[in-house]
Amino acid sequence: MAMSTAERAVPRAAWTLVVPVKVLARAKTRMADGAGRHREALALAVAGDTVAAALSCDRVRAVIVVTDDPLPAAELAALGATVVPDEPDAGLNPALVHGAGRGRELHPDTGVGALSADLPALRPAELARALDAASGAAEAFVPDAARVGTTLYTARPGVPFAPAFGGGSRAAHLARGARELVLPGIDSVRRDVDTPADLRAALALGVGPRTAAVAALLPEPIIRH
């Protein structure tokens, strides 16, 4: 279908997304009882599906992965992400700021976003919808499905990148003046996975192939109500 003249006249904002990936030995600890020996494989699969979906989004110029684990570093670089080590080694937000700095060096004309690595159902079109909404604010964020945490935080070009991830990050981002984006049709952007219940909800939305393959190895009570 051809675009209208009006659609062609409106440029789409481009974004660089920073995705923090934990060392696998420390990832998905709340899944340990259910996932057992598949816990690290699940964490890697979820990150892989998240990064693959982000790279497939036409609003995304680049994905910067911040990790100190060589296994996800290699696998996510093979997907097309730029991988940088967590040189500050001072926690999540400093790691994101470090990755954002690298992103702005490489792509200074793009906005910068921090995206959770725990979004296995992420759909490129839904991410595009969220990023388009984010382009209307200096800073913006998408709350998680529980409206307690944050799955996406963004800063337009030229705006200081100041994420506030951690416990109660929705409230923290609101307090900093970032615009909350609660839009219809972005469920996959909000569905992060930390617990078996989260995984079941993501599976109901439809996860990427890596997560689906590992989920098939998990005990039935973990993936079914």
46/91 Cα distance (integer angstroms): 21
Binding-site residues for phosphoenolpyruvate sit at 150, 166, 169
Residues tagged in the binding site annotation: 150, 166, 169
Reply yes or no on whether the pLDDT at 101 is more than 60.
Answer: yes
- Angle, helix 124-134 to helix 39-56, in steps of 10 degrees: 60
Give phi and psi for 18, each to the nearest 5.
-105, 125
pTM of the entire predicted model: 0.92
Contact 31, 196 (CB under 8 A): yes
Q: Which of 8-12, 32-36, 88-92, 210-214 has the highest mean pLDDT?
A: 210-214
The Cα–Cα gap between 88 and 218 comes to 35
In the chain, the domains with their CATH numbers are 13-223 (3.90.550.10)
Task: Kindly state the tokens that stand for 41.
Answer: 């494989």
Q: What is the pLDDT of residues 40-51, one digit of tens each?
A: 999 999 999 999
- pLDDT, average across residues 83-99: 95
Q: pLDDT tens for residues 128-185?
A: 999 999 999 999 999 999 999 999 999 999 999 999 999 899 999 999 999 999 999 9
